[in-house]
Chains A and B, each alone.
Chain A
Amino acid sequence: MLDTLLWWLTSPFDYAFMRRALAACVALSLTAPIIGVLLTLRGMSLMGEALSHAILPGVAVSFLLAGFSLPLMMLGGLVAGLATVGIASSISLISGLKEDAAMASLFLVAMATGVMVITLAGSPLDLGHVLFGSILTVNRNTLLLVAATASLILIALAMTFRALVVECLDPVFLTLQGRHAGWTHGLFMTLVVLSLVVGFQTLGTLMAAGLMLLPAAAARFWSQRLESMIAMAIGGALAASLAGLLVSYHAGLPSGPTIILLTGVGYVISLVAGPHHGLITRWRMPATDTAHGH
């Protein structure tokens, strides 16, 4: 029995491609959920989702210009993502409307442009590969690139963490120190885009935001402390990645969607059983709710 379990857990990683996939997932799981927690705290979860689609035209154009070169496709995605952020905040500045409305319009345009470019060019680039990723085809160079970028994001997060937190809670505090809150916001959005670009090779542009947002959203049901929320989000992402790879290997399922579905299962469990705002907790304390109601 124990042997079977051990075999189930370890045998997939006899293959180098599975080990590389796991390493890429670990790199993603160590960075994306931190960004996700900060995004959810800012009430900007959907911005992260929208941005993940906005990188598509950049990837497509890079591919058309330079062929299948992952670094250049990532660079293209980064440029497209940052351009979307810049245009969205300019629109919001000029029109006085909220940034997310501009972002919602832009990401649809960007997404359509990306699909159009790929289709019109009749290119051999598999649209499915870009949209859904192909975690099992991560080669050594891709892995190095993913790990290096993830490390860069982690270092940048560590160095600016307090500023990012204060900018969430009380941006004027930063402005008073002579640090323009806009810079902090810009840096944060850059890290969001960078983190999505890292994710697109493995999970695809459609689902790169999944590992970022779902564990973060789930963690809010378990803790009211920032540090433990981040730790839980990372733990959840790691667990979903490992379990997702194992399940997809043994059951012959596509690995990216399996991982995201498992983070979704984690979210539903948290929603039901989480001690903070979870459904069971709410059902157990109807008295306080009605007390507020009257």
Chain B
Amino acid sequence: MPEPQPARLALHDLQLAQGHRTVLQHVDGQFADGAITALVGANGAGKSTLIQGITGTLKPVAGRIACTIPKSRRAWLPQQLALDLSFPMSVEELIMIGTWPSHGALKGYCAAHYRRGREIMARLGISHLAHRPLGELSGGQRQRALIGRTLMQEAELLLLDEPFANVDAETVEVLIEVLRDMADAGATLLVVLHDMEQLTRLADEVVVLAGGHAHWTTAAAFREMSAAELIELTSPLKLPGVAAC
């Protein structure tokens, strides 16, 4: 038996802060390859902060993020409100952006790229929207277009910040299926989630953020937790070691 490979995304004694406020500290752990990890926690617990840290938009105060996934294969699905919806770009153009990291931003697209783009749109059920401007899409259609970009990018690390917010039920089904396929193909997925039912259907592992710390567990164990255990986990006062800081 070969030695098990270390995960391609790991956090080492990570400390992240927003301004002068420490949001997360002493975070140690790794995100399994080929698995979907749900990030859960109360508002302000540090879910988006952790995502920002991993994307590189927020520099760690201490510790480090070790990621061996090639940069061209790192993707993210922004929260819908983070995008300028009046931007003059069509669905197809947005999806084609996914080729830039690996293909280079200078070269034109070739026929194979367009073919792949069409396959992706067909899979996501948005072929008829190919030339529609982003501003004219519904929340669900926009989310499908954005996930199309990550498919085009052949993402091996995908960070999703509340992907199902403001999205219709049918799109949620399509997205869950696509995300599961990506994980089965070996990608590492981190999803900020609020909905327990979606978590049950999607996540393999769960990272609970509370009191400035991260607690790793499996989705199965998380589901089994009683309300009392959950309260204990998410209550900052009862976490060992936190009282000191």
Contact = CB atoms under 8 A, between A and B. Distances in A.
Interface of A: 41, 96, 159-163, 165-166, 168-170, 172-173, 175-178, 220, 223-226, 229
B105 A162 contact: yes
Contact of B100 (A166, A168, A220): A166
A166 B97 contact: yes
Interface of B: 19, 55-57, 71-72, 74-76, 78, 82-84, 87-90, 93, 97, 100-101, 105-106, 133, 135
B88 A177 contact: no
Contacts of A166: 97, 100
B218 to A, nearest CB: 27
A170 B83 contact: yes
A177 B72 contact: yes
A175 B133 contact: no
A175 B88 contact: no
B100 A162 contact: yes
A178 B71 contact: yes
B56 A175 contact: yes
A175 B57 CA distance: 7
A176 B89 contact: no
24 contacts: A41-B87, A96-B19, A159-B106, A162-B105, A166-B100, A168-B84, A169-B84, A172-B55, A172-B57, A172-B82, A173-B97, A175-B55, A176-B71, A176-B74, A177-B101, A178-B56, A178-B71, A223-B88, A224-B88, A224-B135, A225-B88, A225-B90, A225-B133, A226-B89
B67 to A, nearest CB: 10
A173 B55 CA distance: 9
Contacts of A178: 56, 71
B83 A41 contact: no
A107 B88 CA distance: 30
Contacts of A169: 83-84, 87, 89
Contacts of A175: 55-57
B96 to A, nearest CB: 10
Given A224-B135, A225-B90, A176 B75 contact: yes
B111 to A, nearest CB: 19
Contact of B71 (A168, A177, A220): A177
A284 B238 CA distance: 63
A165 B84 CA distance: 12
Nearest to A161: B105
Contacts of A159: 106
Contact of A229 (B19, B74, B88): B88
A173 B76 contact: yes
Nearest to A160: B105
Shortest 6 CB-CB contacts between residues of A and residues of B: A162-B105, A178-B71, A224-B133, A176-B74, A226-B88, A224-B88
A165 B94 CA distance: 11
B189 to A, nearest CB: 14
A223 B90 CA distance: 12
A43 to B, nearest CB: 8
Contacts of A176: 55-56, 71, 74-76
A165 B88 CA distance: 10
Given A162-B106, A168-B84, A172-B57, 16 more contacts: A41-B87, A159-B106, A162-B97, A162-B105, A163-B105, A170-B78, A170-B83, A172-B76, A172-B78, A173-B75, A175-B55, A176-B76, A177-B101, A220-B88, A226-B88, A226-B93
B97 A41 contact: no
Most chain A Cβ neighbours within 10 Å, of B55, B88, B89? B88
Contacts of A173: 75-76, 97
A28 B163 CA distance: 44
Contacts of B88: 41, 220, 223-226, 229
B21 to A, nearest CB: 13
A172 B19 CA distance: 19
A133 to B, nearest CB: 31
Most chain B Cβ neighbours within 10 Å, of A163, A178, A229? A178
A229 B93 CA distance: 15
Contacts of B100: 162, 166
A244 B71 CA distance: 50
A159 B105 CA distance: 8
B35 to A, nearest CB: 20
B154 to A, nearest CB: 14
A162 B83 CA distance: 17
Contacts of B105: 160-163
A226 B90 CA distance: 9
Most chain B Cβ neighbours within 10 Å, of A159, A165, A168? A165
Contacts of B56: 175-176, 178
A196 B84 CA distance: 26
